[in-house]
Structure 1
Amino acid sequence: MDVQTLLKEVEELYPKMVEIRRYLHQNPELSFKEERTAKFIADYLTDLDIEVQTKVGENGVVGLLRGKKEGKTIAIRADFDALPIQDEKDVPYKSTVKDVMHACGHDGHTATLLAAATVLAKHRDELAGNVVFLHQHAEEQFPGGAKSMIEAGCLDGVDIVIGSHLQSTLPAGVVYYREGYTMASADMFNITISGKGGHGASPHETVDPLVIGSQLVTNLQQIVSRNVDPIQSAVITVGSFHSGEAPNVIPDTAVITGSVRSYDPEIRDLLENRIKQLTESTCAANGATCEIKYDRGYASVYNHPTETKYIKDIATEVLGEENVKEIEPKMGSEDFGYFIQEKPGTFFFTGARLSDSERVYPHHHPRFDFDEEAMISTAKVFVAAVAKLND
């Protein structure tokens, strides 16, 4: 396959990418409710004469493009769910759905992968190996769509899996890579402390869950500083603490919720165990009981060395060395991590910051938007990665 021809065709498809992205932006659907979006994707792939599976793991769509020659199979993933946020942008393609918008770039991810599929389908007779187009539902809402799609067999026969995420705060068109842990696992806890309420004038007759909870919040902060190797990374955040309603009444219960983030699976286990131990011991020492609900969220994203170098080299070749940079690891989470637990692969970022600084907002913001030309960079890396995989 002639890579330069593919890259030129990607550039020519830019108006189509914008059209698709803006259609999806105007018609967003929440996680696990993406029926119209899934149909749009399936119909588009079918029109390209690509084999299509729908309702994969619920609302996922998987396209299979078979090459005429033998070779490895590469899977490329894009997510397509939106968020429960009211779109506050003043643009022609503003969301038409109340309190729902694409505030994380998933509309752009979908448009990019469909454009890559368009170019590659046109050259199927020259293609060695196969391409699996993973259009994933429900990235934004736990338990996510990746795990159920994998359980449904979307990675069967796949040799390598790649994906990318647009970043609205990084320079447009620049590809960012990282080998090893790149994004964190994300877990949640909910702790209910049960004491004995009473009058504020008689604290000795009570078991005060508010005071016990306050001790616990402080104790939890010592886990990372005193139990985790300083070379490792971990975060425990207490996000809410609710107890009592009146100034002169000691309540019966206190509820504490928070999040836990880490990279290494052993550190993840350590954090969960220490949170449970500290909670139980702190409550027991003060005469209270507790109920702990601990939910494991998405796995960390670990980029495999060989595949990461491959994408780095591809991006350097098609975009230029000045447009490829290494990125620091992030404590945010992504369920793409499940895909590369199963198959070797890598997840890279594409900068998409708007030139007008007044319009630059972070992900999940009501005025989120991105430079649509960044989709060209991602699509070029995708098609070149496919073209060169079996050289």
Structure 2
Amino acid sequence: MHNQPTIESLTKQAIQDRRHLHQYPELSGEEFETCEMIRERLEHLGIEILDYARPSIIGFVKGTSGAKTLALRADIDALPIQEEGDLPYASTRPGISHMCGHDGHTAVLLAVAEWLAANKANVQPNVYLIFQSAEEISPSGAQALVAQGILDTVDAVFGLHLWQGLKKGTFGLTHGPMMASIDDFEVTITGSGGHGSSPHEAVDPIYISTHVIQAFQNIISQKLNPLEAGIITVGKIEAGSTANVIPTTAKLIGTIRALTPTAVTTIKQQIVQMSEGICQAFGATAEVEFIVGTPPLVNDETQARFVEQVLVDTFGEARVQLVDPTMGGEDFAYYLEKKPGAYLFVGMEGEVSAYPHHHPKFNIDEEVIPDAIRVFIEILKQFKEDAQ
């Protein structure tokens, strides 16, 4: 390897990479150009590329001892959102843009790959560099990689998110649940239709649906352990076609969020029980379907404390905080379901990054990129194989 890269040189390259990726975004499962760019870069650095299904791409670097193996992950997909704003490197693809920050995550991990290629002698564990497709959809890219055995020989896995919801210059993590599960549901209530003037001759699924929705709130307040967070939101109701006809069916469509696997199980069981029981009482039937998304993202306490110590040692205690979990979801949860590890937020909320994730005017504050690069590098340097 040629010159020893500095944080400054790595940052300069990362910003250049991020802006290129921002101009040429690709949707989940379609990131073949992005994948090709990463492949060329890793090959140029002399990093081995493992045999996993595209458009995810996995690099591998052997450590000095190789007794343990770490994985670092970046998500590479964009969103079906039309970018607004006037960035000189704005998306060139109508209706597709990096409005979540994955362009930044990819650029950061490419910078870490460059550092790693030049510093193999300073890293004990083996390292997987996971550039993961399809974080934004379900079934997700993480789920697919776990199914392919990506973590079979991995001892710990780490990820980060450039996070608009946290003040610039700070870092946030938890010692347990960090982000919520995401599952959607559809409840189809079948009664019997009739004329609006003769409700006694029909079984009205719209009326019944109001009772079912009310009962869902009872699940959160009465059935869930009050120390566990959960949400049931009915976001869409489909029923009826005109004012004076009682329809045969009504459909409730909504989402469930929870911070623990136990809470997810409780909520799902209760949705089925309440829906079927209430409908039966009114002479109707209920059919419940779950569209399973990501599980809760739960940091391993040991690895989270290790990352917290790395952050404190590197950036100072004042810049590190334990944050409240967020009810948004993230498919990094699939990795943490399988192996210990930790996920953290690199805060960037401020004048440059003023709009939330998935907003058409969302933007990364590139000034936080060097901190994100340093986090991953320090995790690799400070991971003690015998202490973990």
The question of a shared fold, defined as TM-score above 0.5 by the shorter chain, is answered with: yes
Whether 2:61 is the aligned partner of 1:65: answer yes
Q: 1:369 aligns with which of 355, 363, 374?
A: 363
Distance 1:57 1:279 in 2: 40
**Deviation per residue, 1:361-385 (Å, 9 max, x gap):** 1011111102012111111010011
Q: 1:332 aligns with which of 328, 333, 341?
A: 328
Whether 2:134 is the aligned partner of 1:151: answer no
Partner of 1:13: 10
Distance 2:169 2:36 in 1: 29
Partner of 1:211: 207
Whether 2:30 is the aligned partner of 1:33: answer yes
Letter in 2 for 1:14: T
Whether 2:313 is the aligned partner of 1:290: answer no
Partner of 2:49: 52
Q: 1:22 aligns with which of 19, 22, 41?
A: 19
Distance 1:14 1:169 in 2: 23
Distance 2:97 2:113 in 1: 25
Structure 2 counterpart SS, 1:12: helix
Partner of 1:378: 372
Partner of 1:113: 109
Given that 2:32 and 2:54 are in contact with CA atoms closer than 8 Å, whether structure 1 keeps it comes out as: no
Given that 1:73 and 1:157 are in contact with CA atoms closer than 8 Å, whether structure 2 keeps it comes out as: yes
Given that 1:71 and 1:390 are in contact with CA atoms closer than 8 Å, whether structure 2 keeps it comes out as: no
Structure 1 counterpart SS, 2:361: coil
Structure 2 counterpart SS, 1:185: coil
Partner of 1:88: 84
**Deviation per residue, 1:138-181 (Å, 9 max, x gap):** 11001111111012121232111100011123222321111011
Letter in 2 for 1:38: C
Partner of 1:173: 169
Distance 2:233 2:53 in 1: 31
Whether 2:284 is the aligned partner of 1:281: answer no
Q: 1:195 aligns with which of 191, 194, 198?
A: 191
* Percent pairwise identity: 39
Letter in 2 for 1:378: A
Mapping 1:250-289, distance limit 5 Å: 250-289=246-285
Letter in 2 for 1:382: F
What is the Cα deviation at residue 353 of structure 1? 2.1
Letter in 1 for 2:318: E
- Unaligned 5+ segments in structure 1 are none
Distance 2:167 2:101 in 1: 15
Distance 1:126 1:178 in 2: 28
Aligned length: 383
Q: 2:156 aligns with which of 133, 156, 160?
A: 160
- Unaligned 5+ segments in structure 2 are none
**Deviation per residue, 1:298-347 (Å, 9 max, x gap):** 11111111111111111112222222111111111111111112111000
Mapping 1:230-241, distance limit 5 Å: 230-241=226-237
Normalised by the size of structure 1, how large is the TM-score? 0.94
Given that 2:166 and 2:345 are in contact with CA atoms closer than 8 Å, whether structure 1 keeps it comes out as: no
Q: 1:322 aligns with which of 318, 321, 334?
A: 318
Partner of 1:132: 128
Q: From the superposition, tell whether residues 69 and 266 of structure 1 become closer, same or farther in structure 2 (CA, over 3 Å).
A: closer
**Deviation per residue, 1:233-292 (Å, 9 max, x gap):** 111111111211211111121110111111222221111111001111111111112221
Structure 2 counterpart SS, 1:82: coil
Distance 1:178 1:150 in 2: 23
Distance 2:264 2:86 in 1: 42
Distance 1:150 1:223 in 2: 32
Partner of 1:344: 340
Given that 1:21 and 1:111 are in contact with CA atoms closer than 8 Å, whether structure 2 keeps it comes out as: yes
Structure 1 counterpart SS, 2:366: coil
Letter in 2 for 1:35: F
Distance 1:68 1:227 in 2: 52
Letter in 1 for 2:120: R
Distance 1:52 1:362 in 2: 34
What is the Cα deviation at residue 95 of structure 1? 0.7
Distance 1:298 1:70 in 2: 31
What is the Cα deviation at residue 58 of structure 1? 4.5
Q: 2:223 aligns with which of 221, 227, 238?
A: 227
Structure 1 counterpart SS, 2:236: strand
**Deviation per residue, 1:97-144 (Å, 9 max, x gap):** 111111111010000011011111111133322111011111100111
Partner of 1:100: 96
Q: Calculate the aligned-residue CA RMSD, in Å.
A: 1.7
Given that 1:57 and 1:150 are in contact with CA atoms closer than 8 Å, whether structure 2 keeps it comes out as: no
